[in-house]
Structure 1
Amino acid sequence: MSSTPTSVTVPGPAVPARALKIQSRLRMAATWALIKPYWKSEDRLAGLGLLALVVVLNLGIVYINVLLNEWNRVFYNALEQRDYASFKVLLLRFSWIAAFFIVAAISRQYYTMMLQMRWRTWMTGRFMGHWLGHQAYYRIEQTHTTDNPDQRIADDLRLFTDGALSLSLGLLNSVVTLLSFVGILWTVSGPISFALGGTEWTIPGYMVWFAAGYAVIGSLVAHVVGRPLIGLNFQQEQYEADFRFTLVRLRENSEPVALYRGEPTEQAGLRARFDRIRANWNQLMRYTRRLTFVSSGYAQFAIIFPILVAAPRYFAGKMTLGGLMQTSSAFGQVQGALSWFVDSYATLVGWKAAANRLIDFQEAIRVAERQDLAPGGVRDIEVEHTGKPQNGITIDGLALALPVRAARSAAVGQRPLVAPFSLSVAPGERWLVSGPSGCGKSVLFRALAGIWPYGSGTVTMPDGARMLFLPQRSYLPIGTLADALAYPDAGTVHSAEALQAALRQARLAALADQLDVFDNWALRLSPGEQQRLAFARALLQKPDYLFLDEATSALDEETEGAMYRLMVESLPQAAIISIAHRSTVAAYHQRRLRYVPQDGEAARAAQAGEPGVSYRVVCEA
């Protein structure tokens, strides 16, 4: 078999110009809305205390720089005068100043990192809470309103909190430095006089104006050159996350890929996604090169610029060598403070890209929450708690639909799938749900679980009813076997004896002594073992209503029958509702819910697998 990769096209343009423009927006109000909540949260006192400590340390470092600036003047004057005694004293003074600077710098870095982690911890908890709350994670995946939420929580939150602190503290440091050194520079630079148009002009503190003009010009040029980097960084994060997700998905599905001999196709798909990364990176390189040219040239010329400007006064004998060095140092501090925007631009664009991704993610979560809380429209399906004794599930006028997204809009519409029907399921009843693939059987289960917002009608649940849904492929968390078996409970909720007994009843006795083994059980167990593990989970949870969505599709008929008999015998009072295609499953059910196309033409379309077919439900005894 040839190993040459086949051609695979990854949908979507590599670098859409309109999207790049949108992603490059600053969105400052929305960014502030991301920053503000932590500083009003329950952790604000600790956060504000750490912030105050870091600010004090920043101020201390600025003060030390002021001392160093004065030391420069005295030290170089001593050198010019060949004053050896003062030279020795000044070296000792420098040692003390340097020691305090080192302690302050180390402390500032340490407590800044501590504050970064506290802020990130709080924001991670908040985002995860909203993402998992109202089952927003599920709704987002259904409507595809945002990509790679895992990357946004794990990476973008880290970049956002780290960048916000480093940039804001850097800005504070620049402001304080400017206020501390602008007076020094104004004094030591003195005035400059020149004739222009027959008039004598004098500019007091002329070095301050040169520093301000130099910084303003550099900032404007840096913004014009570097602004596209915001959108490009946004896309780079997205493409990197897509590539990483594809690699993880290949690892998790290694066996079916190997059985299909799908390596060439997978390699081509991975290369196509990596080509997106490379194409976007090439643009990043070009714009970064331009920005680096501006920032590096700006920084290098700033080294000699104050000497050039101050040289006429020095050579005229109006300034000592120490004064020249102090002026150069003060100019560097003032110019550096005014150049915060230029020096931080590369960091700023990366931070703003992360902020924009978090803003989009937060908006997608809010949309999902609104869908869950809305009393009408897409959230007509309701679960009512009656306060009455357990008397079964009542379905009244339930109509099911599928979401339909407009081609050029984020709005989600609905396409009818199942005509309204009513039904009652009493405790202990056994219902079989049957019909052609794609008719909405699984959608019915999702509606009964309260996670399907598309449709209308009312579902009345008895108070305190325990419901358990076993899909065709149950979720098995990475962890110990006990945790995988007891999910969503922790493995410690049940005794080892109860866990082992459930495994033996589900014909998994070989696993009974592995309860404490940590593994990715979804990859280690075969599909049939995973389905039997789900039945063992049902034995532990003892639900009042058990929903089986092709939960025995990977089992042979004899084992399938054994699992159904186990449920019937172990949970005699539980209502069991099953979706299955095998006729042998019918023997374990007394009633049937059958999906049929609405009319003859629809029946033909359904057999041909054509889209847009709607169904009605027939209840059979």
Structure 2
Amino acid sequence: MSSTPTSVTVPGPAVPARALKIQSRLRMSATWALIKPYWKSDDRLAGLGLLALVVVLNLGIVYINVLLNEWNRVFYNALEQRDYASFKVLLVRFSWIAAFFIVAAISRQYYTMMLQMRWRTWMTGRFMGHWLGHQAYYRIEQTHATDNPDQRISDDLRQFTDGALSLSLGLLNSVVTLLSFVGILWTVSGPISFALGGTEWTIPGYMVWFAAGYAVIGSLVAHVVGRPLIGLNFQQEQYEADFRFTLVRLRENSEPVALYRGEPTEQAGLRARFDRIRANWNQLMRYTRRLTFVSSGYAQFAIIFPILVAAPRYFAGKMTLGGLMQTSSAFGQVQGALSWFVDSYATLVGWKAAANRLIDFQEAIRIAERQDESLHGTRDIEVAHTGQPQGGITVDGLALALPVRSARSAAVGQRPLVSPFSLSVAPGERWLVSGPSGCGKSVLFRALAGIWPYGSGTVTMPEGARMLFLPQRSYLPIGTLADALAYPDAGTEHSAEVLQAALRQARLAALADQLDVFDNWSLRLSPGEQQRLAFARALLQKPDYLFLDEATSALDEDTEGAMYRLMVESLPRAAIISIAHRSTVAAFHGKRLRYVPQDGEAAQAAQAGLPGVSYRVVCEA
């Protein structure tokens, strides 16, 4: 077998220029809608208190800079006059000013980080609540409305809150600095006079106008050069998350990949995904190089620019050395304040890319939440409760459909799958659901669980009925075996004796002494052990309605029969509804729900595995 990686096509081509242009938009109103809710939340008082403290510390640092500016004038005048006594006094004064500056800077950083974490904590809770609410996380995956929600909740939220605070506080600091130093620069720079066209012109506070013009030109150039970085950063985060997800998926499926000898294909797929990262990174390098050229050149020339502009007055004897240094310092503060946009542009584009990803993620969540309402003129599947604890499940006019995502928009349409049918399941009944693969048997279970919005009809449940769904591969959380067994309850809600008894009944006696072992049980246990663990979970949950979706597919016939007998004997009043292909399972069920194609032509298409086939349901007692 060759070890040379094969060529593979990775889903998700590079984002086209039009999409990149959309991702580069500023979308300020939507960004403000992300920022505003925290400052109106229950945590707003603590947040506003920290923000006020940070603002006061910022103002204090600006005031210290004003003192340092004045100190520059006096200090360099003392050097020019060789005044040693004043020189010593000024050094002591500088020590005190520097000490206060260090304390203020450290405090500002500390409380800014505290505010960042409070804001991030609140936003993370809010996004997770909406993502997990209404099964939005499930519906987003069904329609592929957005990519890598885990990365958006973890990385993008962190970058958004950190960037919002650092940029806004930096802007505030620049405004206050500008207001504090513009008067100083206006006074110390004085007027400049020159002749133009035979007319004498005088510009008062000319250094202020030079600083403003210098900053405006630099800001415009930086924006023109650096704006594409917003879309490129957006793409880079997406590609990095795709690559990381593929690595995690390979780790979780290491055994089947090893059995298939699939390493060359996996390596080729990983390389292809990384090539997308590298290609986008190359574009980032080019645009970042241009932006760095602009910002670095801008910053370096700003060092000498005020000296060049003020030099004529100094050499004319109209300004002392101290005045020259004070002018240079004040010009630097004013120019730096006006240059906030240039200096912060690299941070701004990264923050805006994270904000755009969060905006898209929030919109995907809202679309998922709206799927409880009407979709394209058809009514959703309504799951209601009778208000009575007794009685069974009643299905009335239930039609099932599949989602169809438009290639031209984010709209989600529907393709009919199962024509309307009615059904009644009483307590203690045993139903077997059978039919060709892909006919919609699992979709029926999802509709009964209330998580499938595509189709129409009504499902009525008895009030307070406990329902448990065991899919072919049950979810096992990372944690102790007790937590995996009792899920969604905590392992501590059941005694060790009860948990051990359930394991033994499910033929997992070898695991009875490992309840406190922490592990990734979905990787440690074999598929058959995982399915038996799910049956042990059913013994703990004691559901009124137990739905088994090929829940014994990994078991031998003897163990399969033992698990079904265990359910029938341990849960005599529970209704059991099973999806299974083995004929041996039928012996444990008294009724059948059979899926058949709509007509003969559809039957042939179904046998050939062609898409677009619709089915009808036949109930057999």
Pairwise TM-score range, normalised by the shorter structure? over 0.9
Unaligned residue ranges in structure 1 (runs of 5+): none
Note if contact 1:371-1:378 (Cα within 8 Å) is conserved in structure 2.
no
Partners of 2:226 and 2:168 in 1: how far apart?
Answer: 20
Shift of 1:375: 9.2
Spell out, residue by residue over 1:98-154, the C-alpha distance to the aligned partner (whole angstroms, 9 max, x if none): 000000000000000000000000000000000000000000000011000000000
By how many angstroms is 1:14 displaced? 2.1
**Secondary structure of the equivalent of 2:319?**
coil
- Whole-angstrom distance in 2 between the partners of 1:240 and 1:96: 48
Deviation digits for residues 436-490 of structure 1 (CA, Å, limit 9, x no counterpart): 0000000000000000101111000000000000000000000000100000011
Deviations 1:363-397 (A, max 9, x none): 00001111125599565211111112411000011
What is the CA RMSD across the aligned residues, in angstroms? 0.9
Shift of 1:12: 3.3
Q: Give me the whole-angstrom Cα distance separating, in 2, the residues matched to 1:27 and 1:227.
A: 13
Q: 2:429–2:576: 8 Å Cα contact kept in structure 1?
A: yes
Please state whether the residue corresponding to 2:378 is helix, strand or coil.
Answer: helix
C-alpha separation between the residues in 1 aligned to 2:573 and 2:457? Answer: 27
Superimposed CA distance per residue, residues 77-96 of structure 1 (whole angstroms, 9 cap, x where no aligned partner): 00000000000000000000
Shift in Å, 1:406: 2.0
Asked if the contact 1:394–1:461 (Cα under 8 Å) also holds between the matched residues in 2, the reply is yes
- Distance in 1, matches of 2:248 and 2:266, equals 12
Q: Structure 2 CA distance, aligned partners of 1:248 and 1:272?
A: 16
Q: SS of 1:372's equivalent?
A: coil
Contact 1:378–1:453 (CA under 8 A) maintained in structure 2: no
- 1:493-540 per-residue CA deviation (whole Å, 9 max, x = no partner) reads 111111111000000011111111000000000000000000000000
The offset of 1:11, in angstroms, is 2.7
Contact 2:547 2:576 in 1 (8 A): yes
* Contact 2:522-2:530 within 8 A present in 1 as well: yes
In 2, the alpha carbon distance for the partners of 1:200 and 1:364 equals: 64
Pair 1:193–1:169, CA change in 2 (3 A): same
2:230 paired residue number: 230
- Please say if residues 372 and 379 of structure 1, whose CA atoms lie closer than 8 Å, have aligned partners that are also in contact: no
Compared CA separation, residues 8 and 456, structure 1 to 2 (3 A)? same
CA 1:26–1:415 in 2, change beyond 3 Å: closer, same or farther?
Answer: same
Task: Name the residue aligned to 1:209.
Answer: 209
Do 2:430 and 2:576's aligned partners in 1 also have CA atoms closer than 8 Å?
Answer: yes
Q: Which residue of 1 aligns with 2:504?
A: 504
8 Å contact from structure 1 (residues 124, 153) kept in 2: yes
Check whether the contact 1:504–1:512 (CA below 8 A) recurs between aligned residues: yes
Deviation for aligned residue 1:610: 0.9
> How far apart, CA to CA, are the structure 1 residues paired with 2:129 and 2:568?
38
More displaced stretch, 560-569 vs 406-415: 406-415
Deviation at 1:407, TM superposition (A): 2.0
Gap change, CA 1:296 and 1:486, over 3 Å in 2? same
Q: Distance in 1 between matches of 2:147 and 2:379?
A: 23
What TM-score, normalized by structure 2, do the two folds share? 0.99
DSSP-derived class of the 2:399 partner: strand
- Superposed CA deviations along residues 25-67 of structure 1, whole A, max 9, x for unmatched, are 0000000000000000000000000000000000000000000
Moved more, 472-481 or 369-378: 369-378
- Which residue matches 2:613? 613
Q: Secondary structure at the match of 1:185?
A: helix
Report the alpha carbon displacement of residue 6 of structure 1 after superposing the two structures with TM.
Answer: 0.3
Residue pair 2:472, 2:552 contacting (<8 A) in 1 also: yes
Query: SS at the partner of 1:146?
Result: coil
Deviation at 1:2, TM superposition (A): 1.5
Whether the 8 Å contact between 1:389 and 1:463 is mirrored in structure 2 is yes
Name segments (4+ residues, structure 1) moved above 3 Å: 373-379
Q: Is the 8 A contact 1:594 1:619 kept in 2?
A: yes
What residue in structure 2 maps to residue 94 of structure 1?
94
3-state SS of paired residue (1:15): coil
Q: Give the drift of 1:404.
A: 1.0
**2: CA distance between counterparts of 1:81 and 1:237?**
58
Contact 1:212 1:335 (8 Å CA) reproduced: yes
User: Equivalents in 2 of 1:27, 1:376: separation in Å?
Assistant: 28
Deviations for 1:184-210, whole angstroms, at most 9, x for unmatched residues? Answer: 000000000000000000000000000
The answer on whether the counterparts of 1:403 and 1:412 sit within 8 Å (CA) in structure 2 is yes
Q: Which residue in 2 is equivalent to 1:167? A: 167
* Inter-partner Cα distance in structure 1 for 2:416 and 2:90: 86
Match of 1:16 in 2: 16
Counterpart contact for 2:402–2:417, Cα < 8 Å:
yes
Q: What is the SS of the residue equivalent to 1:439?
A: coil
Task: Report deviation, 1:564.
Answer: 0.1
* Deviation for aligned residue 1:68: 0.2
Q: Distance in 1 between matches of 2:61 and 2:104?
A: 7
Instruction: Confirm or deny: 8 A CA contact 1:14 1:279 kept in the other structure.
Output: no
Provide closer, same or farther for how the CA distance between residues 378 and 89 of structure 1 changes in structure 2, counting only shifts above 3 A.
Answer: farther
For the residue of structure 1 that corresponds to 2:372, the secondary structure is helix
Q: Deviations over 1:194-233 (max 9, x none)?
A: 0000000000000000000000000000000000000000
Q: What are the superposed Cα offsets for residues 535-579 of structure 1, whole Å, 9 maximum, x if unpaired? A: 000000000000000000000000000000000000000000000
CA shift at 1:262, angstroms?
0.1
Question: Any idea what the Cα deviations from partners look like across 1:401-459, whole Å, max 9, x if unmatched?
Answer: 11112221211111111111101000000000000000000000000000010111100
1:429 alignment partner in structure 2: 429
CA distance in structure 2 between the partners assigned to 1:376 and 1:11 by the alignment: 28
Match in the other structure for 1:260: 260
In the alignment of these two chains, the number of paired residues is: 621
Q: 1:285 maps to which residue?
A: 285
Q: Does 1:418 align with 2:418?
A: yes
In 1, the alpha carbon distance for the partners of 2:345 and 2:131 equals 31
Q: Distance in 2 between matches of 1:616 and 1:483?
A: 40
Task: Quickly say closer, same or farther: Cα 1:378–1:340, change in 2 above 3 A.
Answer: farther
Give the SS at the match of 1:311: helix
C-alpha deviation, 1:175, in angstroms: 0.1
- Structure 1 window deviating more from structure 2 (524-533 vs 386-395): it is 386-395
Q: Deviation digits for residues 290-309 of structure 1, max 9, x if unmatched? A: 00000000000000000000
In structure 2, how many angstroms separate the alpha carbons of the residues matched to 1:462 and 1:546? 14
Residue 13 of structure 1 deviates from its aligned partner by: 2.8
2:174, 2:338 within 8 Å by CA — same for their partners in 1?
yes
2: distance between equivalents of 1:440 and 1:369? 23
Gaps of 5+ in 2: none
Alpha-carbon deviation of 1:594? Answer: 0.5
Over 3 Å counting, the alpha-carbon distance change for 1:377 and 1:453 in structure 2 is farther
Deviates further, 372-381 or 271-280: 372-381
Cα contact 1:371–1:379 (8 A) shared by 2: no
Change (3 A) 1:15 1:603: closer
Tell me how far apart the structure 1 counterparts of residues 388 and 462 of structure 2 sit (CA, whole Å): 7
CA offsets 1:154-194 (integer angstroms, 9 cap, x no match):
00000000000000000000000000000000000000000
SS in 2 for 1:395: strand
Instruction: Name the CA distance, whole Å, in 1 between partners of 2:254 and 2:458.
Output: 43
* 2:389–2:464 CA contact under 8 A, matched in 1: no
* Whole-angstrom CA distance in 1 between matches of 2:242 and 2:485: 31
Q: Distance in 2 between matches of 1:129 and 1:174?
A: 37
* 8 Å contact kept, 2:503–2:511: yes
Question: Separation in 2 of the partners of 1:65 and 1:28?
Answer: 33
Q: Is the 8 A contact 1:15 1:280 kept in 2?
A: no
Give, in angstroms, the shift of residue 595 of structure 1: 0.4
